Every structure is written in C-alpha cells, then in structure tokens.
Amino acid sequence: MSANQTIKLVLIGGGHSHAIALKSWSENLLSGVKLTLISDVKNTPYSGMLPGHIAGFYNYKETHINLPYLAKIAGAKLIVDKAIDLDLDNNLVICQHSDPISFDYLSLDIGSTPKTSTVPGASEYAIAAKPVPLFLDAWYQLLETFKNNPELPLKIAIIGGGAGGVELALNMHSRLQQLISNNFTQNIEISLIHRGSRLLSGHNQKVGDLLTKILHKKGISLYFNTEVTEIKPDRVVAKNNQTIDTNYTFWVTQADSPQWIKNSALAQDNHGFILVNNNLQSISHPHIFATGDIATIKNNPRPKAGVFAVRQGKPLYENWLNIITKQPLKAYFPQEKYLALIGTGDRKAIASWGNSCWQSSLLWYLKDYIDRKFMNQFN
C-alpha cells in the first residue's frame, strides 16, 4: 500500500462493466482513493446499439459513452493511452506513451478482438470488428465511397456466423439499401461465410434457422461449412480452393485476448482470457480484478457477450469498495440463461431465450427502450 495511505485503484479500459462501476462510484465518492482510468479511446462504444448505428438508426453520440465526463463525475484521472504491458512484480501498468502507472488494486475491462492471427492475409486485408473505432472508420469510408460511386459493384464478405457477424450482415444490408433506389442485388453482394453448419451455434437451433431464412430473403449469400484459409485483397479463399470475390472483408470470428495479457503472469484459460473467481478477482493475483470479455469466471464460464459485461458492473464496484475497506468480498454468479435480443436491421428483433425464439417489431421497440435506458444513465 502507498506510504501516505492513499490507495491507488487503476482501471484499464472503459468497457461496459467499468462504465457502470464508475457511474456507481460517482454517486458515492470514497475519500483516500486515487482513481485512474486508462483508456485508449475517449468514447467507448455500447455493443448493444452498435449494429443499430451501422444501420443508421442511431448516431455516433447515441451509441458511445463519453469517458471524460464519466471520469470527471467519478473524480477519476483519465489517461488516454493504451496499456501494453503489466509489471506485476512492481504493480505497474506500462502504457504506450505515458510513464508507468503504479497501482495498489487494478481492474481490467478491455474487451476482446476477433482472432485473425492464424489466417494468412487476415490482419492485412480484413477489417476486424474490433477495435470498434478502426472498424467504424472503415465502415464510414465504405459508405462515402459507395455514395460517390453507387454504380460500381460492391462486394462485401463477412467472416463469422455468430451473433456479431449476422448482425453486421443484416445491418449493413439495411444501411446500403437505404442509400440506393435501384434493385439492391444488381450492384451489391453481401456474403456471410461461416465455418459451422448453422448460425449462432451458442443459441437454440430455431434462432439460427430463423436468421438463415431472413438472410436468404434479403439476398445475402450464405456459405456454411466454409473454412477460410487465406484473405487476398480482392477475394476470400476457403478450403478446397473455393474463392469468394470481395472488395471489403470484415472479420467477426471468435473472440481473442491481446498478446500482452497472454504474455503476463496472470492465470489464464486456454484462450488467454484472465481466469477470475466469483468475486471477479484474478485467481493468481487477488488484487487484480477482470470483467467482461477479457475475463473467464473459472467456475461459471459464459459466452463473450456485452450482457455479461454489463451485469458485472455492479458487483465489480461493490468488490472494489469491499477490498479497499477490508470487508469480505461478495460472490457474483452469472445467470445460466439470458435473453438475447438480436436486431435484424429492419426495426424488428429476434428474442432468444433458452429453447425459445420469437421475432417481432415489438421486440425491436423493447430492445430500443432497454438500450436507450442503459445509455441515458451516462448522460
């Protein structure tokens, strides 16, 4: 602990859990604690509304949490920089530009990025869905190019048949369709390429089947059981030398952990995500917390989804307080079943809950209500 007894709590990443925990902190400021937030962005995207932003239903501001404001109300120092390493012997965070930042307690909520490293050409020629700012820059640029040259054929390939890939395909389709008056399929081809035999394998079969039907109906080409082996500037190459022509390739596959976390001494699962206990503490370094995509709860692993990162915000905040004030920590148990609302780009949504599945425009309004309510708490 610091000599002057000021406790240094350092947060890396302004993800969903940290945003909620900072909001709670702002409502009950604790003296004797120096709070620092290290974030590589000033505005952090809210995943629930990101597909709606692609479709043009929400603007940038509506879908991003303003971290300088949040840090200000929480009395936190915001350092806009990227953490690139941890010195766990000396309790230091190493950043790209700033001096090392010392901590007594550390909390990580840095998300994940799609795994590109194993496929040749993917890092060079595919646009990963994360980091979101780079992805959005590429999308805005695509839209500009398309608006200025609507007569040119546009071929988009999306790799990954999970919720992210399907939502991107549907919402990109929706946005591009809003921009053209002639027959959509004449100029634009969207292909969704998936290595599995059904979409959204983490959900019940009815969800995948319904989404397959919707994608077909919108003219989006589906490639199942297609293992991508290489990305070239103008095409995607799959096993058996199958090729799919493309001008833009988006990469939305399985979540991966950054190399600096993999290189750290923090205990990890098989994919390099930080293993935490039910108190959200690292199982190897109990003064370090981790939540959201970057964490795997050892006894209750769950899919990497924003809904869990959101749910962990409150218990994370409570355990920061508990550890600082030397109170017993409280265990958090993620729910087994969760309601997923998947926007289909047409102001309708599909609800997936256990073995059930429904689609309606009412669900879109419910999703819109929930998402706006979530974002309003940060205004």
Ligand X SMILES: Cc1cc2nc3c(=O)[nH]c(=O)nc-3n(C[C@H](O)[C@H](O)[C@H](O)COP(=O)(O)OP(=O)(O)OC[C@H]3O[C@@H](n4cnc5c(N)ncnc54)[C@H](O)[C@@H]3O)c2cc1C
Question: What element of type H or E holds 216?
Answer: helix 205-217
Question: Is position 345 an interface residue for ligand X (rule: CB under 6 A)?
Answer: no
CA atoms of 278 and 283, how far apart (whole Å): 10
Which run of H or E residues covers position 163? helix 163-179
Binding residue (CB under 6 A) for ligand X from 16, 64, 203, 311: 16
**CB under 6 A: which stretch of 187-195, 279-287, 298-306, 314-322 binds ligand X?**
298-306
**Which region, judged by CB under 6 A, interacts with ligand X, from 128-136, 174-182, 241-249, 348-356?**
128-136
Residues 74-93 that bind ligand X (CB under 6 A): 82-83
Output the six-digit token pair for 304.
């990497």
Stretch that binds ligand X, among 37-45, 144-152, 203-211, 235-243 (CB under 6 A): 37-45
With CB under 6 A as the contact rule, the residue among 244, 252, 357, 375 that binds ligand X is 252
Question: Please, what is the minimum distance in Å from the beta carbon of residue 106 to ligand X?
Answer: 12
Q: Which is nearer to ligand X, 97 or 326 (CB)?
A: 97
Binding ligand X (rule: CB under 6 A), the pick from 11, 22, 110, 266 is: 110
Q: In whole angstroms, how close is the CB of 342 to ligand X at the nearest point?
A: 7
Give the interface segment with ligand X, choosing from 13-21, 119-127, 172-180, 239-247 (CB under 6 A): 13-21
Cβ pair 111, 293 in contact under 8 A: yes
Any contact of residue 339 with ligand X (CB under 6 A)? no
Is residue 12 part of the contact set for ligand X (CB under 6 A)? yes
**Interacting stretch for ligand X, rule CB under 6 A, among 124-132, 223-231, 240-248, 277-285?**
124-132
| Binders of ligand X in range 39-58 (CB under 6 A) | 39-41, 44, 47-48, 50-51
Work out whether 367 is an interface residue with ligand X (CB under 6 A): no
* Pairwise CA distance, residues 18 & 37, whole Å: 9
Whole-number Å distance between alpha carbons of 62 and 64: 6
**Minimum distance of ligand X from residue 101's CB (angstroms):** 11
Half-sphere exposure of 249 (CA within 13 A, CB side): 25
What are all long-range contacts of 199-205, with beta carbons under 8 Å and residues at least 24 apart?
199/161, 199/162, 199/166, 200/161, 200/162, 200/163, 200/166, 200/342, 200/352, 201/161, 201/162, 202/162, 202/163, 202/303, 203/163, 203/340, 203/352, 203/357, 204/352, 204/354, 204/355, 204/356, 204/357
Residue with tokens 């000599």: 3
Judged by CB under 6 A, the residue of 9, 38, 101, 321 near ligand X is 38
Give min distance, CB of 372 to ligand X, in A. Answer: 14
Tell me the site size for ligand X, rule CB under 6 A. Answer: 36
Q: Does 368 bind ligand X (CB under 6 A)?
A: no
Q: At what angle do helices 132-148 and 163-179 cross, to 10 degrees?
A: 30
Nearest distance from residue 186's CB to ligand X, in Å? 27
Output the CA angle 137-139-145, nearest 5 degrees: 105
Closest CA to 17 of 58, 60, 46: 46
| Structure tokens given for 56 | 């043009």
Question: Interacting stretch for ligand X, rule CB under 6 A, among 22-30, 164-172, 268-276, 347-355?
Answer: 164-172
| 286: β partners | none
Q: Is the peptide bond before 131 cis (omega within 30 degrees of 0)?
A: yes
Q: How far apart are CA 9 and CA 324, in angstroms?
A: 9
CB closer to ligand X, 40 vs 189:
40
* Contact between 164 and ligand X per CB under 6 A: yes
- Taking contact as CB under 6 A, which single stretch among the options 126-134, 195-203, 319-327, 345-353 is the one that binds ligand X? 126-134
Give buried/exposed letters for 160-197 (b at 16+ CB in 10 A, else e). Answer: bbbbbbbbbbbbbbbbbbeeeeeebeebbbbbbbbbee
Q: Does 235 bind ligand X (CB under 6 A)?
A: no
CB of 115 to ligand X, least distance (A): 12
Q: Does 20 bind ligand X (CB under 6 A)?
A: no
The answer to whether the CB of 172 falls within 8 A of the CB of 156 is yes
**Residue ranges in contact with ligand X by CB under 6 A:** 12-17, 38-41, 44, 47-48, 50-51, 82-83, 109-111, 129-131, 163-164, 167-168, 252, 292-294, 304-307, 309
